[in-house]
Amino acid sequence: MTSNRFALENQKALMAVSLGKKPADLIVANGRILNVYTGELTTGGSICVTDQWIACVTEDVSACRGPDTRIIDAEGMTVIPGLIDGHTHLANYVSSKEFMKQVIPDGTTCLVTETLETAYPAAGTACILDFIESYQNQPVKVFFTVPMMVSPGQHFLKKSDQDLDLLLHRDDVLGLGEVYWQALLLEPDTVLPLISRVLVLGKTVEGHSAGAKNRKLAAYAGAGVSSCHEPIDLTQALERLRMGMYVMAREGGVRKDLTAISTIRNMDVDLRRMILVTDSVTPEFLMEKGYMSHVVQKAIDLGFRPVDAIRMATLNVAEHFGIDHLVGGIAPGRFADLCIVPDIRQITPKWVISSGKVVAGNGQCLAAPRDHVYSEKSLSTVTLNQAFSAADFTIPVNSDAEQVQVRIIDKISPLVTREKTAVLPVIDGLVQMDIENDIIKIAAIDRVDPSNPRFVGLVSGMGLKRGAIASSAPWDTGDIIVIGADEADMALAVNRIGQLQGGTLFTSGGNIVAELPMPIMGLMSDLPVEAIAERMKQVNQAARAAGCVFDDPVLSLVTMTSSAIPYVRICEQGLFNLKNGNIYDHLKEKNP
């Protein structure tokens, strides 16, 4: 993507336009221009673009104006650099083409996405590479980070050094994706060499230090992790900045931390290492709020100086990733990524220019995103090898007792869990749910390798009184995850995911009540964003109608596998305790 920037013919063409020996392809004239390097808002200059790049910003454009030069008149408007999202997850419900349609008019011209999710659906790097390819040659630039490939309790994520090198040496791969701090502290012998391998290449190591502080945070930062998008308040943000980390204030689909962190604007603190990110958005978010323009606008509305807010989504991000010679500012040699807004305080793009092309005007997408044909491998990632029945979701115990004390995942918030115990009846050697007391079943089934064990456990706090909710896209795993108050509905849900080769759905009374097919790696739909949002709404409504107490039952479901959120999670081997890295089964007495 960026590899041809410094090809001799491009360098010479750029130089010819800078020197006034060749006309520009595009001139953005008459606007105020934000210089993120100095912080100045300048007038009188015009931005001369050739091919994909900025040749110069000059007050005298006569030498740059030829018969074929397109002029964009920015009179009365302000030109800022195209916005950058420094941390997101694009393998998230929406296909590359449909995502592009949404993000282009928003003024976001560069994204750095995790690839973690695409590492699970296939052994090797087939899906990762297909995902990367799906975002190549699109109207907006996308960079990638390599998945850490070490997730506690996940045996199949240790990819080969060859696979890693293949990815790390790509010019569109900027470093190692978010390294969970618990993984680093629990498995230093595995994680540290990975970090070393990335740093010696001059690339970055992205962080995820939710909840870490003091000595543990120092150990984590000291290992070479240079960013964190998990601070949820000023204290956490400041501690990370002081340790030399970049703080990514998150405002997206999963969490909205910007308001809490924004009080940093009142401290006399340098903001050069503050970054704004989404950490992914939902289809609803995309439709209702937009993308980075919304986040930057919110930062301004929260009282950040506009130049600081814009820098947090442009120059600061580019500097963190070492790509500030390519993006993040309006200067010679950079990609011509420009966002023309009414005013520096009003981030509603009138024109968006990406790599020198006018890709959006007045909110309309003017570019045609490429329709990526996903690989056969990416479209067949669910292997079940059996039709599931209710009997597959029983919990047998080797005991004649009529009841047994069991270990339960207790959801104490939409995302956070703790461990609790309960005494449940045993009938015919099988532990029974206690729907009345909100103790129902949860199962993790490996969809990549059906020969792997699977685990049926117990969960409380969801509120579901009937039916089952399931998804092929839980976080940090290649499992299908299903939560249900009825074993037959759980089986139906899993079987349907197998038929669809991926999806998120709700079943009840033997029927598919609502479903979103997700045939792309089991993670993404090929539907338009609007349709995805509508289908998701239907699944969530169905789950809530069946008693689920959370606003977004699907989110509460898919996060049950994430080793990033405290503190008891499920994997196909059992219950994973993030505090100590151990895996437990149901029986309380069995484990310490």
Q: Does 242 bind its own copies (CB under 8 A)?
A: yes
SS (H, E, C) 266-297: HCCCCCCCEEEECCCCCHHHHHHCCCHHHHHH
- 440 touches 483 (CB < 8 A): yes
Q: Does 55 bind its own copies (CB under 8 A)?
A: yes
Q: Does 15 bind its own copies (CB under 8 A)?
A: yes
- Separation between Cα atoms, residue 96 and residue 88, nearest integer Å: 13
Q: Give, as ranges, the residues between 101 and 140 that touch its own copies (CB under 8 A).
A: none
Mask: binding to its own copies, 260-289, rule CB under 8 A, as x and -? --------xxx-xx----------------
Asked, as a colleague might, if the bond just before 93 is cis with ω within 30 of 0, I would say no
By DSSP bridging, strand 403-411 and strand 351-354 are unpaired
- Output the smallest distance, CB 54 to its own copies, in A: 7
Among 66, 76, 322, 425, binds its own copies (CB under 8 A): 322
Q: Spell out the residues 6+ positions from residue 18 whose beta carbon is closer than 8 angstroms to its own.
A: 48, 55, 56, 332
- 291 touches 103 (CB < 8 A): yes
Closer residue to its own copies (CB): 21 or 70: 21
By DSSP bridging, strand 403-411 and strand 455-460 are parallel
Q: 94 φ, ψ to 5°? A: -105, 135
- Separation between Cα atoms, residue 206 and residue 180, nearest integer Å: 9
Among 203, 372, 447, 454, binds its own copies (CB under 8 A): 203
Q: Does 70 bind its own copies (CB under 8 A)?
A: no
Q: Does 199 bind its own copies (CB under 8 A)?
A: yes
- Separation between Cα atoms, residue 141 and residue 189, nearest integer Å: 35
Among 65, 325, 466, 588, binds its own copies (CB under 8 A): 325
Q: Does 8 bind its own copies (CB under 8 A)?
A: yes
- Output the smallest distance, CB 267 to its own copies, in A: 8
- Residue 353's identity, in one-letter code, is I
- Output the smallest distance, CB 226 to its own copies, in A: 6
Write down the residue that tokens 């080797």 correspond to.
398
CA distances from 495 to 45, 69, 455, 512 (A): 62, 58, 16, 11
Q: Does 562 bind its own copies (CB under 8 A)?
A: no
- Output the smallest distance, CB 392 to its own copies, in A: 43
Which of helix, strand or coil describes residue 501?
coil
Q: Does 67 bind its own copies (CB under 8 A)?
A: no
Closer residue to its own copies (CB): 41 or 366: 41
- Output the smallest distance, CB 7 to its own copies, in A: 7
Q: Which residues are near its own copies by CB under 8 A?
A: 3, 6-8, 11-12, 14-15, 18-20, 35, 37-40, 42, 53-58, 63, 171, 185, 188-189, 192-193, 195-196, 199-203, 214-216, 218-219, 221-224, 226, 238, 241-244, 268-270, 272-273, 319, 322, 324-325, 329, 331-334
